[in-house]
């Protein structure tokens, strides 16, 4: 387990979320979520389904618009700016630029079906950042090597197993050199025997010092890799701290029940 040093608390967090609110119609999914993540921290968000974990991740990279609160990524207010004391929404162009700071890995992989594994990784660097093709290709091959799929570079997504597809998706997100990697239940859609290979790639990414926020049900990963665990229930974070503390000293009966069920 990495230590989230006390010194870090004094510097600006990479992810700053304050009282974030989100509603879908009548249903209030996020009811004031607070979260600070510092550079190189690995934070795992736990909670039963429907607690708002995935929605929160999607709010961080503005796939969903928030209804209240404030989000800053590396000091840059997400989707809004303050001009002369007035909060104004940003135009689409600025939002598009802001999303590049965050890499996202989806539950359903969402690899581009018409592109090979290699092309999936090179697509955004080439079409978004204007990286020269040869350079993007070399970097993509190196990333595919990292996730153990260099020999599968020319295959299309349908020719890969679920675990392989998710590993390509991780390489694809890393190719944009994001400041934070968001993982939205990355192993939930996988057959049990394929979960391990994805988790081990995620461990490698974490060890390389990547700042990560991971929504998952994999307690082993939370215990072994995370610096901190956030437990979300009904749209708010009810407990925050090291994994072992969550197990040994659950804040509520709900947390205790979740932990008991997840471990056994």
Partner 1 sequence: MTAHIESADLSAKHQHPPSVAEAVGYWRPWRWLVSIIFTLLVAQFLVTLALNPNMQWHVVLDYMFHPVVLRGLMMTLLLTFLAMLVGFTLGTGLALFRLSPILPMQMFALGFTWLFRSIPTLVLLIFLYNLAILIPEVSLKIPFGPTLWSQDTNVLVTPFVAAIIGLGFHKAAYMSEIIRAGLLSVDDGQRQAATALGMSSGTTLRRIVLPQAMRVIIPPTGSEIISTLKLTSLVSVISMSDLLYTIETIYSRTFQTIPLLLVACIWYLVLTSILQFAQRYVERYFGRGYRAPGGKDNRAEAEG
Pick one of 16, 56, 106, 243: the residue that binds partner 1 (CB under 8 A).
106
Q: Are 45 and 255 in contact (CB under 8 A)?
A: no
User: What binding mask, one character per residue, do residues 170-199 give for partner 1 by CB under 8 A, x or -?
Assistant: --xx--x-----------------------
* Helix (DSSP H) and strand (DSSP E) numbers for the chain: 9, 12
Q: Are 90 and 81 in contact (CB under 8 A)?
A: yes
Site stretch for partner 1 (CB under 8 A), options 30-38, 137-145, 165-173, 200-208:
165-173
Pick one of 18, 123, 148, 179: the residue that binds partner 1 (CB under 8 A).
123
Instruction: Please give the size of the binding site for partner 1, defined by CB under 8 A.
Output: 34
Pick one of 110, 161, 204, 223: the residue that binds partner 1 (CB under 8 A).
110
Residues 160, 189: Cα–Cα separation, whole Å: 14
53 near partner 1, judged by CB under 8 A = no
124 near partner 1, judged by CB under 8 A = yes
User: Nearest 5°: phi and psi at 35?
Assistant: -155, 130
Residues 199, 193: Cα–Cα separation, whole Å: 11
Counting every residue written for the chain, the total comes to 264
- Nearer CB in complex with partner 1: 169/259: 169
Scan for tokens 């072994």, then name that residue: 224
236 near partner 1, judged by CB under 8 A = no
Q: Are 61 and 104 in contact (CB under 8 A)?
A: yes
Q: 79: helix, coil or strand?
A: coil
Kindly state the smallest distance separating residue 157's Cβ from partner 1, in Å.
7
Q: 223: helix, coil or strand?
A: helix
Kindly state the smallest distance separating residue 216's Cβ from partner 1, in Å.
18
**Structure token digits, residue 185:** 């239940």
- Nearer CB in complex with partner 1: 114/264: 114
Site stretch for partner 1 (CB under 8 A), options 42-50, 151-159, 232-240, 245-253:
151-159
Helices within the chain (DSSP H only):
53-60, 92-99, 117-127, 133-146, 162-174, 192-207, 219-225, 243-248, 253-263
Q: Are 162 and 189 in contact (CB under 8 A)?
A: yes
- Nearer CB in complex with partner 1: 32/79: 79
99 near partner 1, judged by CB under 8 A = yes
Pick one of 157, 163, 235, 250: the residue that binds partner 1 (CB under 8 A).
157
Report which secondary-structure segment, H or E, holds 23: strand 15-24
> Contact positions toward partner 1, by CB under 8 A?
61, 63, 92-93, 96-97, 99-100, 102-104, 106, 108, 110-116, 123-124, 127-128, 154-159, 169, 172-173, 176
């Amino acid at each position: 387990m990495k230590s989230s040093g006390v010194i870090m608390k004094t510097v600006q967090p990479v992810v700053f979320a304050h009282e974030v609110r989100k509603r879908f119609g009548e249903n209030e999914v996020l009811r004031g979520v607070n979260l600070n993540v510092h550079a190189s921290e690995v934070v795992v968000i736990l909670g039963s389904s429907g607690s708002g974990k995935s929605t929160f991740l999607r709010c961080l990279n503005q796939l969903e618009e928030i209804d209240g609160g404030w989000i800053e990524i590396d000091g840059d207010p997400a989707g809004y700016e303050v001009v002369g004391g007035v909060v104004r929404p940003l135009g689409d162009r600025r939002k598009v630029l802001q999303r590049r700071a965050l890499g996202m890995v989806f539950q359903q992989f969402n690899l581009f079906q018409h592109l090979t594994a290699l092309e999936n990784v090179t697509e955004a660097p080439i079409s978004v950042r204007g990286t020269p093709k040869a350079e993007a290709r070399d970097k993509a091959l190196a990333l595919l090597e990292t996730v153990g799929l260099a020999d599968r570079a020319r295959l299309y997504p349908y020719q890969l197993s679920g675990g392989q597809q998710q590993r390509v998706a991780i390489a694809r997100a890393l190719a944009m050199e994001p400041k934070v990697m968001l993982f939205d239940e990355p192993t939930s859609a996988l057959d049990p025997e394929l979960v391990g290979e994805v988790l081990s790639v995620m461990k490698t990414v974490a060890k390389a010092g990547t700042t990560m926020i991971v929504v998952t049900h994999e307690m082993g990963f939370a215990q072994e890799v995370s610096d901190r665990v956030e437990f979300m229930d009904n749209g708010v974070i009810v407990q925050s701290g090291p994994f072992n503390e969550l197990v040994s000293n659950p804040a509520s009966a709900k947390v205790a029940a979740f932990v008991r069920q997840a471990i056994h």
